[in-house]
């Protein structure tokens, strides 16, 4: 950004603060803004002035030789500013400080002229957020392009189109939310920049008193940008859903309860983004046996759900000026290292994302702690493959050790049919589908239910388009209400650990699948895949077969596994 100066260029050498060459023109200063209003003002601002470099996420001190000569106050100010992040100092003439102050005053004047526009922008931001709360959305998607923008909501797992707005209006609304409302330490930048991916957490209180944390993430797109905001309930009094309420069957709850009794080892929940992994972890942590006798720490980037009796650490964003692949300087890694020195019993790590965090996970488990975490994988056994990948790099000896895995869980969220307007599968599904369900899976098709196309007042949300032309698309099922978990769980035993250690993944899968003794309409989930858990919910009239197929695979292509064949070593 600037050329480094020699020691003679700067009057006051301050350790850990970058000394810059003399700046003689305002054009030499990159995009800048006013710093926070709460900075100390114990010096003459005609001699020492501070600006915030918005694109570089750091403060720049402009100081005249006379300003630097105020040794005690100058040192005190610099040290306080260093606590806010990276600081650079440049020697300037007082005339340049005057020019910078004039530029900022002009910007303030412009802001005064645009006060009404900012008020409208804030009103639009509130309107967008409140609409999502009103309809029970999990996320709001704001898609801004050259001339126009759209607002969409994810409701019960599906994207629903709401309204279009002028791109300028949405840009300003998203800027107000990021710049003025975000928690200071969670912002990736000091100000909203549409040309950069940014993130922050925004505390938000609805008019009815409900409190949320809004997880804000933007991304630059061709012709504009997207902002996705996730609604996270921020209230310790929010009811903790039990595993049964989430959708876990009794046999699965029994497996998780057994894993929770183990004082050493890792329970890892896998799934795609938005599959409810954090909610399940929260439920497990809140229902641990002898929970009041244990010290529990949770590390997340950022904290999503407040939990009673848990010491929660919200990991700050990584410094954007550090190399992306510099794992050693990862704030998440540093906080995970702290965990080992805090005399913990139980740890929850938000996500295993790289080799460094995986090694801390390994160390925590091997040093006698109970660990819960998540990972992105597409099946329970896929977690093993993911941990062995070059990006993470754990070894089979580690994964197959006696006290490493306590449980491997894969889960997905799937829509439920509306209990008020669902219709019989007979007459809705094709005859070929019904025949397959009877012959291939031995299901009673008379018990199956499907979502209605038009929905009803209990499930249909007014004011939303279901297709780009504003008309209902026949492929969009409106008769759905709420979501439920479908999951598969593996609690490794000695035989499974031996297969994992020896790299016999196919045998591990066969062995696990051989544990299935119950039919597809039986609630016993031992040895069953997440698809088969979903098939059970189809058999009970809770889930539409079409919804299950869209989430996995058409039933024509699903390979049925015969437990008897697998237990004797037959082909898959």
pLDDT value at position 111? 53
pLDDT value at position 375? 95
**Residues 250 and 377 grouped into a single domain:** yes
Does 181 have pLDDT greater than 90? no
259: CB partners within 8 A, 6+ apart: 265, 267, 406, 407, 491
How, if at all, do strands 405-417 and 480-490 pair?
antiparallel
**Residues 385 and 446 grouped into a single domain:** no
**Residues 122 and 102 grouped into a single domain:** no
Does 333 have pLDDT greater than 60? yes
Query: What end-to-end distance do the CA atoms of the chain give, in Å?
Result: 60
Domain assignment of residue 7, yes or no: no
**Residues 250 and 392 grouped into a single domain:** yes
Q: Please state, in angstroms and rounded to a whole number, the distance separating the CA atoms of residues 307 and 285.
A: 9
**Residues 162 and 304 grouped into a single domain:** no
Question: Among 56-70, 382-396, 416-430, 447-461, whose mean pLDDT is lowest?
Answer: 56-70
In degrees rounded to 5, what are phi and psi of residue 408? -115, 120
Domain assignment of residue 433, yes or no: yes
Domain assignment of residue 102, yes or no: yes
Question: What value does the CA radius of gyration of the chain take, rounded to a whole number of Å?
Answer: 28
Q: Which of 193, 210, 233 is the last residue of a domain?
A: 233
Answer for the pair 84, 13: CB distance below 8 angstroms, yes or no: no
Stretch 440-447: mean pLDDT: 97
Does 457 have pLDDT greater than 70? yes
Q: Please state, in angstroms and rounded to a whole number, the distance separating the CA atoms of residues 509 and 253.
A: 21
**Residues 258 and 386 grouped into a single domain:** yes
Q: Please state, in angstroms and rounded to a whole number, the distance separating the CA atoms of residues 68 and 70.
A: 5
Question: Among 9-18, 303-312, 561-570, whose mean pLDDT is lowest?
Answer: 9-18
Q: Which of 358, 390, 410 is the last residue of a domain?
A: 410
Domain assignment of residue 6, yes or no: no
Cβ atoms < 10 Å from Cβ of 145: 15
pLDDT value at position 271? 95
At residue 558's C-alpha, the angle toward residues 553 and 564, to 5°, is 150
How many Cα atoms within 13 Å fall on the side-chain side of residue 547?
35
**Residues 224 and 288 grouped into a single domain:** no
For 252-283, give the secondary structure using H, E and C. Answer: HHHHHHHHHHCCCEEEEEECCCCCCHHHHHHH
**Residues 463 and 510 grouped into a single domain:** yes
**Residues 284 and 393 grouped into a single domain:** yes
Range of the domain at 127: 112-233
Helix (H, G, I), strand (E, B) or coil at 474: coil
Domain assignment of residue 285, yes or no: yes
The total number of structural domains in the chain stands at 4
How, if at all, do strands 58-63 and 87-91 pair?
parallel
Cβ atoms < 10 Å from Cβ of 97: 22
Predicted confidence (pLDDT) per residue in 257-307, tens digit:
999 999 999 999 999 988 999 899 999 999 898 889 999 999 887 777 788
**Residues 406 and 445 grouped into a single domain:** no
**Residues 205 and 287 grouped into a single domain:** no
- H-only helix segments in 440-520: 494-502, 505-513
CATH assignment of the domain containing 144: 3.30.450.90
Q: Please state, in angstroms and rounded to a whole number, the distance separating the CA atoms of residues 149 and 137.
A: 19
Does 499 have pLDDT greater than 50? yes
Cβ atoms < 10 Å from Cβ of 119: 11
Name the token pair of 192.
């909203």
pLDDT value at position 565? 47
Domain assignment of residue 533, yes or no: yes
Confidence of residue 21 (pLDDT cuts 50, 70, 90): low
CATH assignment of the domain containing 325: 3.40.50.300
Nearest to 379 by CA among 512, 482, 483, 246: 512
């Amino acid at each position: 950004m600037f050329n480094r100066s020699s020691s003679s260029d700067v009057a006051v050498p301050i350790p850990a603060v970058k000394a810059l060459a003399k700046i003689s023109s305002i054009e030499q200063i990159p995009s800048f803004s006013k710093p926070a209003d709460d900075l100390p003002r114990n010096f003459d601002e005609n001699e020492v002035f501070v600006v915030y470099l918005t694109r570089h996420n750091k403060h720049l001190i402009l100081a005249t030789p006379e300003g630097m000569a105020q040794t005690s106050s100058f040192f005190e100010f610099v040290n306080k500013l260093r606590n806010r992040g990276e600081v650079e100092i440049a020697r300037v003439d007082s005339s340049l400080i005057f020019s910078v102050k004039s530029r900022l005053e002009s910007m303030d004047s412009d802001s005064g002229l645009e006060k009404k526009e900012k008020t409208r922008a804030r009103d639009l931001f509130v309107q967008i957020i409140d609409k999502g709360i009103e309809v029970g959305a999990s996320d709001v998607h704001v898609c801004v392009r050259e001339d126009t923008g759209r607002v969409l909501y994810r409701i019960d797992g599906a994207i629903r189109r709401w309204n279009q707005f002028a791109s300028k209006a949405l840009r300003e609304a998203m800027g107000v939310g990021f710049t003025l409302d975000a928690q200071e330490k969670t912002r990736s930048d000091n100000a909203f920049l549409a040309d950069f991916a940014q993130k922050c957490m925004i505390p938000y209180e609805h008019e009815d008193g409900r409190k949320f944390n809004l997880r804000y993430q933007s991304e630059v797109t061709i012709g504009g940008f997207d902002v996705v905001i996730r609604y996270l309930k921020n209230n310790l009094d929010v009811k903790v859903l039990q595993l049964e309420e989430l959708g876990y069957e009794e046999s699965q709850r029994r497996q998780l309860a057994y894993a929770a009794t183990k004082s050493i080892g890792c329970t890892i929940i896998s799934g795609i983004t938005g599959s409810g992994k954090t909610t399940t972890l929260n439920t497990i942590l809140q229902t641990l046996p002898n929970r009041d006798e244990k010290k529990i720490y949770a590390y997340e980037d950022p904290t999503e759900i407040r939990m009673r009796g848990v010491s929660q650490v919200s990991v700050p964003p990584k410094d954007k000026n550090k190399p992306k692949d510099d794992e050693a300087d990862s704030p998440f890694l540093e906080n995970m290292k702290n965990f080992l020195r805090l005399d913990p019993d139980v740890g929850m790590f938000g996500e295993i994302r790289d080799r460094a965090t995986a090694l801390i996970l390994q160390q925590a488990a091997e040093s006698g702690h109970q660990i819960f975490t998540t990972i992105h994988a597409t099946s329970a056994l896929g977690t093993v493959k993911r941990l062995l990948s070059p990006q993470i790099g754990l070894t089979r000896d580690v994964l197959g050790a006696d006290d490493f895995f306590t449980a491997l869980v894969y889960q997905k969220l799937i829509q439920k049919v509306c209990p008020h307007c669902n219709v019989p599968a007979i007459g809705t599904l094709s005859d070929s589908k019904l025949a397959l369900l009877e012959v291939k899976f031995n299901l009673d098709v008379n018990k199956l239910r499907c979502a209605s196309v038009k929905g009803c007042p209990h499930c249909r949300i007014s004011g939303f388009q279901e297709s780009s032309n504003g008309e209902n698309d026949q492929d969009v099922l409106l008769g759905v209400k709420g979501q439920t978990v479908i999951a598969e769980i593996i609690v490794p035993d000695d035989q499974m650990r031996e297969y994992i250690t020896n790299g016999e993944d196919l045998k591990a899968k066969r062995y696990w699948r051989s544990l299935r003794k119950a039919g597809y309409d039986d609630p016993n989930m031992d040895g069953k895949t997440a698809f088969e858990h979903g098939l059970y919910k189809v058999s009970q009239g809770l889930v539409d077969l079409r919804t299950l197929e869209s989430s996995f695979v058409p039933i024509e292509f699903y390979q049925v596994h015969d437990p008897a064949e697998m237990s004797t070593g037959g082909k898959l």
